[in-house]
């Protein structure tokens, strides 16, 4: 991939995002650097880094996401990904060793077999009407609920949807998704809760030219995505910054939920989670983004030698998991060619009762 083509791809992306930002009404509000949430253990959530480091992060994030942009280009025009050194997390070696030593990362199939009951209970299998849909980032640091709730769905998308091509495409997908869940009920009987979070890499990619990308992403979610959903009769609300654990990205796995949000949590596994509203192409892109984050300079960089994709198939539509797995196997070849051990594990999600 030539330097010219790489630059042009980023220029196209930047122009698209600039048009998107211009349609959002509140792009210049300030975001406090003070933590707003604490974890269940009482530790403060990671705050917004200093601006200088933030700009460095955004530069690395843009480079680290170049492969995702290449998915819309012909295969012979693939963009190579750079892996800068660990400038900000010199202690990542011990963290990587800890992750690799986890029983799941030692043998994913064995761990999933041994804990089958636990992970199956993470899916909402009830036949109760869905009344709530939560949109959360794919980030593995997000703190999820402790128990599975009946009548709820959770969509996991990068930046809660800010990396979709445009707001209308995302809103169209969510509207179709809500109509299907409503099953003839009024659309406003389902509440759609959209959250942001601090130090969001997706916000950095989408709003890297803004002084405060996190706040710009939050304003875009509320002023554009939520507003457009409400205009279509959907009861959408923005819930602010979601709670998350403190520290860098440490996950070396990504779970892909093919059940359209029935997977609500995944205790025991430190994993990114991807769940798009019946959009296979977007799910593939964001699963690859999870790998790019783990292999980027604000995680493990070139030290990362293993990554696992866990694909939870929908028993009603097994072909979706097959399509996603095949695409990921193809798109990860650049990593396996460099010696990385990319693992694929598929499990059948429990059916709705």
| Predicted confidence (pLDDT) at residue 189 exceeds the cutoff of 70 | yes
Q: Could you tell me if residue 259 is inside a domain?
A: yes
| Predicted confidence (pLDDT) at residue 47 exceeds the cutoff of 70 | no
Q: Could you tell me if residue 101 is inside a domain?
A: yes
- Of 149, 133, 150, 8, the closest CA to residue 70 belongs to 8
Query: Residue 223: what pLDDT?
Result: 98
CB 142 within 8 A of CB 255: no
Angle, helices 280-294 vs 318-331, to 10°: value is 40
User: Where is 318: in which H helix or E strand?
Assistant: helix 318-331
Banded model confidence at residue 91, pLDDT cuts 50, 70, 90: confident
Q: Could you tell me if residue 330 is inside a domain?
A: yes
Number of domains in the chain: 1
Q: How far is CA 178 from CA 186, 264, 281, in A?
A: 10, 17, 19
How far from the centroid of its chain's Cα atoms is residue 314's Cα? 19
pTM: predicted TM-score of the whole model, two decimal places: 0.77
Q: What is the Cα–Cα distance from 346 to 312, expressed in whole angstroms? A: 6
| Predicted confidence (pLDDT) at residue 1 exceeds the cutoff of 60 | no
Query: Residue 90: what pLDDT?
Result: 63
Tens of pLDDT, residue by residue over 295-310, are 998 899 999 999 999 9
Banded model confidence at residue 89, pLDDT cuts 50, 70, 90: low
| Predicted confidence (pLDDT) at residue 8 exceeds the cutoff of 60 | no
Q: Could you tell me if residue 353 is inside a domain?
A: no
| Predicted confidence (pLDDT) at residue 28 exceeds the cutoff of 50 | no
Tens of pLDDT, residue by residue over 50-81, are 334 444 444 444 444 444 433 333 232 222 22
| Predicted confidence (pLDDT) at residue 82 exceeds the cutoff of 90 | no
Q: Could you tell me if residue 223 is inside a domain?
A: yes
Query: Residue 26: what pLDDT?
Result: 40
| Predicted confidence (pLDDT) at residue 2 exceeds the cutoff of 90 | no
CB 274 within 8 A of CB 256: yes
Q: What is the CA radius of gyration of the chain?
A: 19
Query: Residue 178: what pLDDT?
Result: 98
Q: Could you tell me if residue 83 is inside a domain?
A: yes
Average pLDDT on 270-278 reads 95
Average pLDDT on 161-184 reads 96
Q: What is the Cα–Cα distance from 242 to 139, expressed in whole angstroms? A: 11
Average pLDDT on 323-335 reads 98
| Predicted confidence (pLDDT) at residue 87 exceeds the cutoff of 50 | no
CB 228 within 8 A of CB 246: no
Q: What is the Cα–Cα distance from 270 to 313, expressed in whole angstroms? A: 20
Average pLDDT on 102-124 reads 98
- Burial degree of 275 (CB within 10 A; 0-12, 13-18, 19+): buried
Tens of pLDDT, residue by residue over 228-259, are 999 999 999 999 999 999 899 999 999 999 99
CB 1 within 8 A of CB 78: yes
Average pLDDT on 187-213 reads 96
CB 205 within 8 A of CB 249: no
Does the CA dihedral 139-145-148-151 come out positive or negative?
Answer: negative
Q: Which domain holds residue 230?
A: 3-348
| Predicted confidence (pLDDT) at residue 20 exceeds the cutoff of 60 | no
Q: Which residues of 89-116 are buried (b: 16+ CB within 10 A; e: fewer)?
A: beebeebbeebeeeebbeebeebbeeee
| Predicted confidence (pLDDT) at residue 27 exceeds the cutoff of 60 | no
Tens of pLDDT, residue by residue over 122-167, are 999 999 999 999 999 999 999 999 999 999 999 999 999 999 989 9
CB 255 within 8 A of CB 219: no
Lowest mean pLDDT among 31-45, 58-72, 181-195, 218-232: 31-45
Please give the share of the chain, as a percent, with pLDDT higher than 70: 75
- Of 37, 65, 90, the closest CA to residue 248 belongs to 90
Q: Could you tell me if residue 322 is inside a domain?
A: yes
């Amino acid at each position: 991939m030539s330097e010219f083509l790489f630059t042009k791809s980023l220029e196209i992306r930047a122009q698209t995002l600039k048009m998107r930002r211009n349609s959002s009404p509140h792009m210049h509000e300030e975001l406090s650097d003070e933590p707003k949430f604490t974890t269940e253990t009482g530790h403060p959530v990671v705050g917004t880094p200093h601006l200088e480091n933030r700009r460095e992060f955004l530069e690395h994030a843009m480079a680290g996401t170049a492969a995702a942009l290449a998915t819309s280009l012909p295969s012979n025009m693939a963009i190579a990904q750079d892996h800068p050194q660990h400038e900000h997390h010199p202690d990542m070696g011990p963290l990587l060793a800890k992750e690799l030593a986890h029983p799941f990362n030692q043998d994913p199939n064995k761990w999933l077999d041994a804990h089958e009951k636990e992970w199956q209970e993470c899916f909402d299998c009830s036949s109760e009407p869905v009344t709530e849909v939560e949109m959360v980032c794919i980030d593995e640091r997000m703190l999820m609920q402790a128990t599975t709730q009946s009548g709820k769905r959770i969509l996991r998308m990068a930046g809660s949807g800010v990396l979709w091509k445009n707001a209308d495409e995302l809103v169209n997908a969510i509207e179709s998704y809500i109509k299907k869940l409503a099953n003839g009920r009024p659309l406003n009987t389902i509440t759609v809760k959209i959250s942001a979070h601090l130090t969001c890499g997706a916000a950095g990619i989408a709003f890297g030219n803004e002084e405060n990308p996190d706040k710009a992403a939050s304003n875009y979610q509320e002023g554009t995505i939520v507003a457009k959903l409400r205009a279509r009769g959907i009861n959408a609300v923005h819930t602010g910054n979601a709670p998350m654990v403190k520290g860098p990205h440490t996950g070396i796995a990504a779970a892909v939920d093919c059940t359209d949000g029935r997977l609500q949590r995944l205790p025991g596994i430190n994993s990114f989670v991807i769940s798009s509203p019946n959009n296979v192409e977007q799910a593939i892109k964001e699963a690859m983004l999870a790998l790019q984050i783990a292999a980027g300079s604000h995680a493990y960089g070139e030290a990362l030698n293993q990554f696992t994709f866990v694909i939870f198939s929908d028993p009603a539509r097994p072909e979706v998991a097959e399509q996603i797995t095949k695409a990921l196997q193809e798109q990860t070849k650049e990593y396996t060619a460099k010696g990385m051990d990319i693992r694929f594990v598929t499990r059948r999600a429990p059916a709705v009762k």
